[in-house]
Structure 1
Amino acid sequence: MTEEQKRKVSDLRRAGMGYTETARLAGVSRDAVRSFCRRNGLAGQAAQDGQEDAQAQEGICRECGKPLQQTAGVKRRVFCSRECREKWWHGHPEQIRQRSVYSFTCAGCGKQFDVYGDSRRKYCSHGCYIKARFGGGGADE
């Protein structure tokens, strides 16, 4: 691929275009586009999240827009601070890739609840566990 084709492929993918359409417009094969995109971080969601990805590559915080100082040889920074990172992820829970979410019915109160990562959980809270285990009374009963 020529430099011009590479630039065109990058621009089209960041605009959200698929491999086939990008290949047709750039004048190269679909597989060449796919390989180039995988090598350069333009595969999968990178095309959909092009704006956020471009911000991170430019060195701008995703949350507040402050410029970031990138260090060579270290993982690329996306947020300027812990507070910005937590605030952004709190506002975008749909982008968290949760692989092991389980739904259960509480053995204590019968309420439905979802758990991330613990496939053996039985109770929705510590309070329900205590009520089921010890009869729900205080220390004086």
Structure 2
Amino acid sequence: MTDEQKEKIIRFRSMGRGYAAIGKELGISKDTVKSFCRRNSLTSADILVQDDKDRCRECGVEIKQRPKMKKQVFCCKACREKWWTEHPERIKQKAVYEFTCAQCGKAFTAYGNKNRKYCSHECYIVGRFGGGGNG
């Protein structure tokens, strides 16, 4: 890697660009960029973005935030999926719960809802309305 490439990596990371975008622009491997950044403390947690604009976490494109909406972190679905694929250590899925169905007794898991009682809509209808007949 040349000194010029190293300087560009530092500049691009300070702008908030992702490893893949930098590697593509400089014609080097994403993993080479990632290794250089880790050795030089240029990971996303260590970088202070120098401008006050919101940028995509993966590619660094400026994101225009919508008022009264949740802050966007990625510019598109492709960038979001790519970033999460490259950062599996950041996934913290703690909201998976295990239950036993109140109707059929089958064990099941549910994500995000710790108050589930039934494994399916069919079991809910039978358990709640006694079979859900016509009427």
- Is the pair's TM-score, using the shorter chain for normalization, greater than 0.5? no
> Which structure exhibits the higher relative contact order, with contacts defined as CA atoms closer than 8 Å and separated by 6 or more residues?
2
TM-score of the aligned structures, taking structure 1 as reference length: 0.41
Q: Which has the higher helix share?
A: 1
